[in-house]
Amino acid sequence: MIGIVGYGVYVPKYRIKPEEIARVWGEEGERIRKGLGIEEKSVPGIDEDAATLAVEAARNSMAMAGILPEKIGALLVGSESHPYAVKPTATIVAEAVGAGPNIMSADLEFACKAGTSGMQYCMGLVGAGMISYGMAIGTDTSQGRPGDALEYTAGAGAAAYIIGREKTECIAEILATCSYATDTPDFWRRQHAEFPSHGGRFTGIPAYFKHVIASTQLLFEKTNTTAKDYDYIVFHQPNGKFPLEAAKKMGIDEGKLKLGLVTPVIGNTYSGASIIGLANVLDSAKAGEKILVTSFGSGAGSDSFAIEVTDVIESKRGKSPKLADYLVHKEYLDYGLYVKHRKKLKSL
């Protein structure tokens, strides 16, 4: 069996509402809130970045897995906001959780899907018997250009998954995975650019919808299943609307997406988005339930997973915070404080 032996999430304490951002830019807040399906988004603390978020999620995943840190044979960190352009986030995280030095480690980048790429690589390494456990993390503190549509959605958060093969340790089995990728110029950020550029409406049909739908259909074919075989479906969630539209296009019951759709309350956490959604499902899922996850990263590609929850989940639950625990204690920022938190003023 290849499966998840532990997972952990982290979301910073601070929030800003779309109405507050809209107030500054003279936009209609309520229209934007409804249009994007975003109630509020998370904002990192001044001393938080993609590495610190990754460490918190990693520590939570270790607490659930209950394994010694030196047993982790690989650590992969997916992000598009790595603190350094050159110098790995993965070694910072490994040291902070006490893993290594006998460890394979690397940083990954594929817009919003580098976290699920890491999960696939860990599955491969574990499946080949090269390692006993691998940790894959998706973490981001992404930024939108001031006034840009992305400013309403770009949130901060991380999720870490420890992949292993012992049946008695896996809280969920990963039954299958597949991917779909093409060279699509929907969203990018050049080496020294502060903020990303994107293709506006082009990010929809030829990018998000095409890849999410194709990858999900590929998984259905590969596993000889349909949407009816899954209790929960989690799609990448750049906003609160796209995943529901994708489901509608595929004739999938929108109700199956509800539990895994967390962007409306934390924003788009980029590399963390689909796997924080998955974590929210796992936080309450029961043994035998099946989950389908499809991530999406601009540029563009999707990874899909078919997952079945095992009864081991009951004994491991409660050893680490749930996503819901991070949604209770929050503090709202006005746009001025938000600018300070995100160091958006050049003089800061």
Partner 1 sequence: MEESLAITWRRIPERYRLLGTRCITCNGNYFPPRKICPKCRRKGKIENVQFTGKGKIYSFTTIFAPPSGFELEAPYVFAIVELDEGVRVTAQLVDCREEDVKIGSIVRMVFRRIAEDSDEGLLHYGFKFALVR
Active site residue 112: yes
Phi, psi of 106, rounded to the nearest 5 degrees: -165, 155
Segment near partner 1 (CB under 8 A); pick from 41-49, 112-120, 176-184, 194-202: 41-49
Regarding 5 and contact with partner 1 (CB under 8 A), the answer is no
Give the per-residue contact string, 56-75, with partner 1 (x = CB under 8 A; - = no): x--x----------------
- State how far Cα 96 lies from the chain centre: 21
Distance in Å, CB of 296 to partner 1, minimum? 29
Segment near partner 1 (CB under 8 A); pick from 47-55, 114-122, 206-214, 240-248: 47-55
The burial of 124, by beta-carbon neighbours within 10 Å (0-12 exposed, 13-18 middle, 19 or more buried), is given as: middle
Per rule CB under 8 A, count of chain residues that contact partner 1: 23
The burial of 154, by beta-carbon neighbours within 10 Å (0-12 exposed, 13-18 middle, 19 or more buried), is given as: buried
Which of 66, 98, 127, 255 binds partner 1 (CB under 8 A)? It is 98
Regarding 167 and contact with partner 1 (CB under 8 A), the answer is no
Which of 30, 70, 95, 221 binds partner 1 (CB under 8 A)? It is 95
Angle between helices 242-249 and 210-223 (to 10 degrees): 50
d(CA 122, CA 60) in angstroms, rounded, equals 18
Regarding 45 and contact with partner 1 (CB under 8 A), the answer is yes
Spatial CA neighbour of 309 closest among 171, 165, 121: 171
DSSP string, 134-166: EEEEEEEE----TTSGGGGTB-EEEEEEEEE--
Say which of 56, 80, 151, 308 is annotated catalytic: 80
- Going 108 to 6 to 233 to 306, the CA torsion angle's sign is positive
Distance in Å, CB of 56 to partner 1, minimum? 6
Q: Of 280-339, which residues contact partner 1 (CB under 8 A)? A: 329, 331
> Going edge to edge, which strands form the sheet with 331-332?
41-43, 14-16, 331-332
CA distances from 58 to 64, 141, 305 (A): 10, 16, 21
Segment near partner 1 (CB under 8 A); pick from 43-51, 103-111, 114-122, 267-275: 43-51
Active site residue 80: yes
Regarding 49 and contact with partner 1 (CB under 8 A), the answer is yes
For residue 66, what is the DSSP state? T
Regarding 340 and contact with partner 1 (CB under 8 A), the answer is yes
Active site residue 122: no
Binding site for partner 1 (CB under 8 A): 13, 45-49, 51-52, 55-56, 59, 83-84, 92, 95-98, 329, 331, 340, 343, 348
The residues assigned a catalytic role are: 80, 112, 236
